[in-house]
């Protein structure tokens, strides 16, 4: 299946985990892929398996508005346009809000919220020119933490709540320009970000009790939904925040009592 032949996509936070899986999925379907994170070394490891002529590395911090503009400019200069922006860069912090430092708050909000806004702002004029069958597309990585609360992640929850509602607002604002905006909302996924949870047997068990499918997500599970949302198959889908969470949202976060039967 080659849904993205000759199409160009930027994926922020694409050096590891979900972002890497998204980049590989788009590349496998024929897209020109622009890789971004702050670590060029990690990006080069991802790019080593991709086709040189269809891959561009632009390392830098998406929370810097000047860099966001530069990322888009370099993409358009290399490939002649932009069809899809995937805002995947993100960080998390846990702990009581009363104990959080200013730096803790700023880092999460700067990358998760401002970085997403900066990238969208820079990309919108070019996405509006896309001649892709489904139009230009923005796909944000939010989280189930952006649709409800968690016990120990108030800053991350706030940041992903902003991404969730930003997605809705962009869909309303950009539809007339032929740009669709959607988001994926993963639960615990097998990435570096969730390693602390997955290494703690009791904590992992508590998370799994909330997931009807009984397992963490894989990065490829999320990548498949991102690719769908960016494709012509989703040409009439905009403003959606789609859970990719094994059923957590359907269960309203309640434990999986089947595990006790």
pLDDT tens per residue, range 182-212: 999 998 788 766 556 556 666 666 667 777 8
Pick from 147, 23, 131, 10: which is nearest to 78 by CA? 10
pLDDT tens per residue, range 245-255: 888 888 765 55
Question: Is 156 known to be catalytic?
Answer: yes
Phi/psi at 135 (5° precision): 80, 175
Query: 39-48, 228-237, 251-260 — which is least confidently predicted?
Result: 251-260
What pLDDT, on the 0 to 100 scale, is given for residue 215?
84
Helix (H, G, I), strand (E, B) or coil at 7: coil
- How would residue 259 be classed by pLDDT, with cut points 50, 70 and 90? very low
Catalytic residue, chosen from 13, 132, 156, 241, is: 156
The pTM of the full predicted model, rounded to 2 decimals, is 0.92
Pick from 130, 20, 18, 2: which is nearest to 75 by CA? 130
pLDDT tens per residue, range 100-122: 999 999 999 999 999 999 999 99
Q: Which CATH architecture has domain 8-242?
A: 3-Layer(aba) Sandwich (3.40)
């Amino acid at each position: 299946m080659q849904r993205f032949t000759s199409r160009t996509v930027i994926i922020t936070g694409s050096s590891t985990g979900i972002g890497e899986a998204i980049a590989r999925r788009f590349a496998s379907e024929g897209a020109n892929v622009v890789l971004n994170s702050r670590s060029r070394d990690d990006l080069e490891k991802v790019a080593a398996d991709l086709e040189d002529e269809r891959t561009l590395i632009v390392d830098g911090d998406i929370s810097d508005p000047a860099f966001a503009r530069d990322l888009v400019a370099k993409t358009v200069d290399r490939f002649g346009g932009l069809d899809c922006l995937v805002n995947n860069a993100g960080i998390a912090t846990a702990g009581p809000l009363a104990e959080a430092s200013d730096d803790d708050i700023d880092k999460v909000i700067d990358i998760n919220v401002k970085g997403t806004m900066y990238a969208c702002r820079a990309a919108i004029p070019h996405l509006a020119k896309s001649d892709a069958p489904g139009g230009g597309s923005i796909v944000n990585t939010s989280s189930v933490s952006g649709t409800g609360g968690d016990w120990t992640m108030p800053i991350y929850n706030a940041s992903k709540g902003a991404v969730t509602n930003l997605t809705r607002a962009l869909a309303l604002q950009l539809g007339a320009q032929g740009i669709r905006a959607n988001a994926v909302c993963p639960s615990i996924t097998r990435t570096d970000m969730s390693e602390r949870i997955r290494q703690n047997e009791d904590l992992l068990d508590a998370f799994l009790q909330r997931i009807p499918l009984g397992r963490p997500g894989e990065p490829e599970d999320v990548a498949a939904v991102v690719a769908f949302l960016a494709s012509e198959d989703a040409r009439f889908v905009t403003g959606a925040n789609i859970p990719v969470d094994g059923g957590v949202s359907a269960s309203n976060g309640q434990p999986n009592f089947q595990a006790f039967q």
